[in-house]
Amino acid sequence: MIEFASIADGEFGEFHAFPSPRVIVNSSVPIEVQRLTLLHELLHAISELYGLGLTESQVRCIEQGLGQVMSEPDVWEFMGGRI
Ligand SMILES: [Zn+2]
């Protein structure tokens, strides 16, 4: 489940594996930040659910790399995003 909600100041997002996988994205930050936060929390979810054991720093690196690619308007649109 993915939820967009206002959460504590300074927090961008959260991932909880239990009782069922749930990602929360802070809806009060700019949309570009929400996109990167969703990507970041989904990477934590994938790491946890598939037992990859990614560290916070590895998650950040993948988030930044994919975020760069997805910031290209053509790529973003191809992936189904609206500009
Ligand atoms: Zn993180």
CA of 44 to the centre of ligand 1 (A): 7
Domain count across the chain: 1
83 part of a folded domain = no
CA of 49 to the centre of ligand 1 (A): 15
Q: Inform me whether the pLDDT recorded for 56 exceeds 80.
A: yes
Strands of 13-16's sheet in order across: 2-5, 22-26, 13-16
Beta bridge partners of 24: 3, 14
Q: How far apart are CA 4 and CA 41, in angstroms?
A: 12
- For the entire predicted model, the pTM comes to 0.86
- What is the residue range of 9's domain? 2-78
Instruction: Name 59's Cβ contacts closer than 8 Å, sequence gap at least 6.
Output: 40, 43, 44, 47
CA of 76 to the centre of ligand 1 (A): 23
67 part of a folded domain = yes
CA of 21 to the centre of ligand 1 (A): 15
Residue-wise pLDDT for 1-15, tens only, equals: 998 998 887 899 999
Residue 48's pLDDT band (cuts 50, 70, 90): very high
